[in-house]
């Protein structure tokens, strides 16, 4: 394609895009209209997982003339079978926002703006700051790191610097799901997979809005025929033909709209509800005695110094602890009527049904997150709804590689790759051996988790001076922002480095900004919510001087090596990221011109793969993923040399690590006898409850068209047009009491901060009276100035779903733009 034509297309698209948005579309058009003969010439399609959420849809990316020009749902992908959501269909435009960052930018010493510097200067500056005080450096990453990026960061920090201050934004997202899985099964990540969605008779969404946040998965449940799942798929006429979707939530959403039942929950009511159902199953002796006797133990937290392994309790003790959660008490605490609690207990008591539970942020961003996660697992175990297709407690993730990079590579302050722990001497030794490092290189002390890391960075006497942020936007996502991320430019001696693709709320605070390559501008591997590892190749060049995040880490490591940091070499004096070509000759991958001389992703992945067998999360060789639309681990080699994925973990019929004669084997059980743990906890009220001064509940969350902090989706005209601003959803009754008008701007404030927002009454979602909802995507309206910093005691994950706020009209002087 000629340059002229490309420029014309660009110009036409730009003009039309703005025309569409401003509504003056009558005389303009978005796409040029061309004669059909050559419009698709040279168009080449390649697979990639979508850049956005944790569902892990595959898209086909159409590339023409070195640019992404089209997207299609990948019909060969099992996850989405050709369907996408509105974000996925427009993901191609994510590369082309006009304000892409293209040069390294250093803040002037007087703070008055930025100057362009070279990559060499930037890398040298970072390396020297680290060298000066290696233990005062912290690395903050994300579930959007590709697996090789996370692995390189992990190896650089823990294996190279002997520094464990590396944590991801996933701490804010699914840390409680991790602690829930570990406390219950002794090992992280769901046992089931998306196939459960095709087989279940009942789907329970616990504080979850998949219709907006995992739309393709929700579609797979409610539109089975359109996804090629025949309604009588088992040929058994007694089986229900449609799924009964029971939505349990503190707010009506699009999921509630499409659900069979909607149960309105009080904040923290999920804990009481799960206990209430368990109470009925046990008191009326309707639990699955055989399943429990064969596969389970009972567990509770210790009186003092509780841990994730807890202490063993007998069934009698378990029963006694549940005694007080009668349906009446559970109803009072949860807000769900007794009759509905009984109905749920009847469903769980019925073993002929297949029940799948789905949850995401409602149960994870919860100050009792670990507890409520274990309770829902426990409910499935107690009733025997586990281990058959369609019977599964499944948590979803919000980021494309929260599972792959954070949970599996272990880029958390306390973790090492492959499910290992920093505090475990044996695990450290294994890593040192696999990395060929001298014994004792890895620091035995876990590093700072996210909120602690930012506290240490934000306060003048904190012990973190230099913070490197990659692929995430803490300036928008941290809770209680005014406290956790004050403008550090006012704090002497602190230095914030931010690598990103667009200017964000975080780059605004940065001292050094690094322009990053994104998505199909680089090679990558993600791991989605169903244990599926997905690979893609670089398809187009990044703009300007933007470079891979993985390269940045390796280049900093190499600069430290040149400057003589002793940790940047292994036992034999070889550089930590020693990558060789086909002839066995080292490739200087720290030099950008040589970074793509070899496939660095492949080299790092093959190295990382060795870590995955300890917890039976076995991965196949890189080249197997090139051929597949992702494979679900454990992936095990077969006698014929092929590689087989696993859909249902711990089951005798599918998991290669379970003896075929057994139904189930929890082979990483914390009690080391193949059993899972059913926990009991006590209800606690939320950390902050509305009162006379702050009379409303605030919940925050996401919307369909905007993804997380909106830095990518907000640059896509079709998506920004659909959802241009954050808003506060108010119940009509409250709006009437407070005399609020539709679209009016109001001030929403808590004890921690305030923001100004337009009111939306009878909105897309509907909170109950006394409760409001605000989405967090809008960088011009930072709701996290208002949220609470309360965290779960085990997972350290903050609760973004409950705090007390009030609404007041905008004062005259504030109303001026």
Partner 1 sequence: MNAQQRSSPHIVALLLTGVIGLSLVGLIRGIRYDVPHHGELAEFRHNTPIEDVAAEDGAIPATPYWQMRRRETGPTSQWEYGISPIETIFDYRRCITCHDPHTLEIRPDQRAKERSLKIRATRRAYNGAPPVIPHAVEQTDDAACMACHGTGARIGELVANRIPHAYLSQCLQCHAPPAPLPLTHQASPPANRFAGLPTPFAGPRAYPGAPPLIPHSTWMRRDCLSCHGGAAGWPGLEVTHRWRTNCLQCHGTSAELEQAITAAH
- Calpha distance 516→548 (Å, rounded): 6
As beta bridge partners, residue 755 has 748
Considering only 2-10, 158-166, 169-177, 402-410, which stretch makes contact with partner 1 by CB under 8 A? 2-10
Residues of this chain, 319-378, that bind partner 1 according to CB under 8 A:
337-340
Question: How many CA within 13 A on the CB side of residue 635?
Answer: 21
Helix (H, G, I), strand (E, B) or coil at 331: helix
Among 761, 783, 803, 805, which residue sits at the site for partner 1 (rule: CB under 8 A)? Answer: 761
* 158 part of the active site: no
Q: For partner 1, what does the binding mask look like between residues 577 and 616, x meaning CB under 8 A?
A: ----------------------------------------
Tokens of 397: 């993730």
Q: Does 28 bind partner 1 (CB under 8 A)?
A: yes
Q: Per the residue annotation, which of 50, 296, 361, 539 is the catalytic one?
A: 361
Q: Does 23 bind partner 1 (CB under 8 A)?
A: yes
Burial class (CB in 10 A: 0-12, 13-18, 19+), 500: buried
Residues of this chain, 94-113, that bind partner 1 according to CB under 8 A:
95-99
Considering only 124-132, 307-315, 556-564, 727-735, which stretch makes contact with partner 1 by CB under 8 A? 727-735
Residue number, 76 or 425, with CB nearest to partner 1: 76
Residue with tokens 């506290």: 455
Total of residues contacting partner 1 (CB under 8 A)? 107
Q: Which of 499, 216, 535 is nearest to 404 (CA)?
A: 535
Residue number, 317 or 742, with CB nearest to partner 1: 742
Residues of this chain, 735-754, that bind partner 1 according to CB under 8 A:
735-736, 741-743
Residues of this chain, 192-211, that bind partner 1 according to CB under 8 A:
211
Considering only 45-53, 387-395, 518-526, 801-809, which stretch makes contact with partner 1 by CB under 8 A? 45-53
Q: Does 768 bind partner 1 (CB under 8 A)?
A: no
Among 760, 776, 794, 800, which residue sits at the site for partner 1 (rule: CB under 8 A)? Answer: 760
Per-residue buried b or exposed e for 24-48, using 16+ beta carbons within 10 Å of the residue's own CB = eeeeeebeeeeeeeeeeeeeeeebb
* 398 part of the active site: yes
Nearest distance in Å: CB 109, partner 1? 31
Residue with tokens 């939505």: 247
Q: Does 544 bind partner 1 (CB under 8 A)?
A: no
Q: Which of 467, 591, 592 is nearest to 541 (CA)?
A: 592
Q: Does 770 bind partner 1 (CB under 8 A)?
A: no
Backbone phi and psi for residue 690, each to the nearest 5 degrees, phi listed first: -55, 145
* 522 part of the active site: no
Residues of this chain, 241-300, that bind partner 1 according to CB under 8 A:
254, 257-258
Q: Does 722 bind partner 1 (CB under 8 A)?
A: yes
Residues of this chain, 434-493, that bind partner 1 according to CB under 8 A:
none
What are the E-state strand segments in 493-561? 495-500, 512-515, 524-527, 532-536
* H runs (alpha helix) in 401-514: 425-434, 450-458, 474-477, 481-484
Residues of this chain, 502-541, that bind partner 1 according to CB under 8 A:
none
Among 2, 3, 4, 35, which residue sits at the site for partner 1 (rule: CB under 8 A)? Answer: 35
Q: Does 762 bind partner 1 (CB under 8 A)?
A: yes
Q: Which of 495, 496, 594, 612 is nearest to 554 (CA)?
A: 594
131: left (phi over 0), alpha (psi -120 to 50) or beta: alpha
* 35 part of the active site: no
- Calpha distance 512→305 (Å, rounded): 42
Among 49, 56, 62, 207, which residue sits at the site for partner 1 (rule: CB under 8 A)? Answer: 62
Q: Per the residue annotation, which of 85, 173, 403, 723 is the catalytic one?
A: 173
Q: Per the residue annotation, which of 53, 56, 60, 87 is the catalytic one?
A: 87
Considering only 3-11, 386-394, 668-676, 791-799, which stretch makes contact with partner 1 by CB under 8 A? 3-11
CB 678 within 8 A of CB 671: no
Residue with tokens 């309707």: 286
Nearest distance in Å: CB 468, partner 1? 28
Question: How many CA within 13 A on the CB side of residue 521?
Answer: 24
- Calpha distance 19→792 (Å, rounded): 47
Q: Per the residue annotation, which of 143, 398, 419, 524 is the catalytic one?
A: 398
Residue with tokens 């060298």: 131
Nearest distance in Å: CB 715, partner 1? 5
Q: Does 396 bind partner 1 (CB under 8 A)?
A: no
Residues of this chain, 683-712, that bind partner 1 according to CB under 8 A:
704-705
- Calpha distance 774→701 (Å, rounded): 7
Q: Does 810 bind partner 1 (CB under 8 A)?
A: no
- The catalytic residues are 87, 173-174, 361, 398-399
């Amino acid at each position: 394609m000629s340059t002229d034509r490309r420029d014309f297309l660009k110009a036409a698209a730009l003009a039309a895009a703005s025309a569409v948005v401003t509504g003056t579309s009558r005389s303009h058009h978005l796409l040029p209209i061309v004669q059909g003969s050559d419009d698709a010439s040279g168009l080449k399609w390649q697979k990639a997982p979508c850049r956005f959420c944790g569902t892990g849809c595959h898209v086909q990316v159409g590339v023409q003339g070195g640019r992404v020009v089209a997207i299609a749902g990948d019909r060969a992908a099992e996850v989405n079978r050709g369907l996408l959501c509105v974000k996925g269909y427009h993901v191609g435009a994510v590369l082309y926002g006009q304000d892409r960052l293209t040069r390294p930018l250093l803040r002037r010493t007087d703070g008055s703006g930025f100057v362009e510097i070279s990559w060499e200067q930037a890398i040298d500056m970072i390396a020297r700051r680290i060298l000066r005080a290696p233990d005062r450096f912290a690395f903050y990453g994300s579930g959007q790191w590709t697996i090789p990026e996370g692995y390189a960061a992990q190896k650089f920090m823990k294996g190279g610097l002997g520094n464990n201050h590396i944590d991801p934004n996933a701490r804010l997202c699914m840390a409680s799901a991790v602690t829930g899985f570990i406390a219950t099964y002794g090992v992280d990540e769901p046992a089931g997979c998306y196939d459960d969605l095709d087989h279940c008779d009942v789907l329970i969404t616990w504080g979850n809005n998949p219709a907006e946040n995992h739309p393709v998965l929700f579609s797979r449940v409610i539109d089975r025929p359109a996804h090629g799942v025949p309604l009588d798929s088992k040929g058994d006429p007694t089986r229900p033909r449609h799924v009964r979707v029971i939505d349990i939530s503190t707010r009506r959403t699009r999921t509630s709209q499409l659900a069979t039942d909607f149960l309105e929950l009080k904040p923290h009511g999920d804990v009481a509800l799960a206990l209430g159902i368990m109470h009925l199953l046990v008191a009326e002796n309707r639990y699955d005695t055989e399943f429990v006797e064969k596969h389970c133990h009972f567990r509770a937290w210790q009186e003092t110094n509780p841990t994730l392994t807890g202490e063993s309790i007998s069934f009698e003790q378990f029963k006694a602890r549940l005694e007080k959660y009668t349906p009446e008490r559970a109803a009072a605490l949860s807000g769900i009527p007794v009759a509905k609690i009984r109905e749920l207990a009847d469903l769980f008591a019925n073993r002929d049904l297949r029940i799948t539970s789905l949850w995401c942020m409602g149960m994870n961003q919860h100050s009792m997150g670990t507890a409520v996660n274990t309770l829902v697992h426990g409910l499935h175990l107690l009733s025997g709804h586990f281990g058959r297709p369609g019977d599964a407690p499944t948590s979803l993730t919000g980021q494309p590689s929260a599972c792959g990079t954070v949970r599996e590579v272990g880029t958390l302050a306390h973790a090492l790759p492959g499910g290992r722990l920093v505090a475990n001497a044996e695990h450290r030794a294994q890593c040192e051996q696999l990395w060929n490092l001298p014994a004792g290189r890895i620091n035995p002390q876990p590093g700072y988790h996210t909120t602690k890391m930012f506290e240490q960075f934000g306060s003048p006497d904190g012990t973190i001076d230099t913070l490197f942020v990659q692929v995430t936007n803490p300036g928008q996502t941290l809770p209680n922002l005014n406290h956790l991320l004050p403008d550090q430019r006012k704090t002497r001696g602190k230095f914030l480095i931010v690598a990103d693709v667009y200017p964000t709320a975080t780059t605004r605070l940065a001292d050094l900004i690094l322009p990053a390559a994104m998505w199909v501008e680089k090679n990558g591997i993600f791991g989605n919510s169903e244990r599926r590892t997905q690979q893609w190749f670089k398809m187009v060049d990044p703009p300007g001087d933007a470079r891979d995040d993985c390269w940045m880490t390796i280049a900093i490591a190499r600069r430290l090596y040149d400057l003589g940091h002793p940790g940047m070499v292994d036992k034999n004096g070889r550089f930590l990221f020693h990558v060789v070509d086909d002839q066995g000759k080292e490739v200087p991958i720290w030099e950008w011109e040589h970074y793509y001389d070899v496939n660095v992703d492949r080299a790092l992945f093959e190295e990382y793969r060795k870590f995955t067998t300890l917890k039976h999360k076995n991965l196949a060789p890189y080249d197997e993923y090139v051929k597949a639309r992702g494979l679900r681990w454990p992936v095990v080699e077969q006698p014929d040399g092929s590689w087989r994925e696993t859909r249902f973990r711990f089951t005798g019929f599918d998991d290669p690590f379970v003896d075929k004669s057994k139904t189930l084997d929890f082979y990483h059980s914390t009690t080391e006898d193949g059993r899972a743990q059913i926990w009991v906890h006590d209800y606690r009220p939320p950390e902050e409850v509305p009162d006379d001064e702050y009379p409303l509940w605030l919940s925050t969350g996401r919307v369909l068209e905007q993804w997380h902090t909106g830095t990518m989706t907000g640059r896509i005209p079709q998506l920004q047009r659909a959802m241009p601003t954050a808003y506060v959803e108010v119940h009509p009754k409250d709006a009437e009491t407070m005399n609020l008008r539709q679209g009016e701007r109001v001030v929403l404030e808590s004890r921690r901060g305030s923001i100004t927002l337009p009111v939306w009454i009878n909105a897309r979602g509907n909170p109950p009276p006394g409760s409001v909802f605000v989405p967090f995507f809008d960088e011009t309206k930072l709701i996290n100035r208002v949220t609470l910093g309360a965290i779960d005691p085990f997972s350290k994950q903050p609760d973004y779903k409950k705090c007390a706020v009030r609404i007041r009209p905008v004062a005259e002087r504030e109303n001026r733009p």
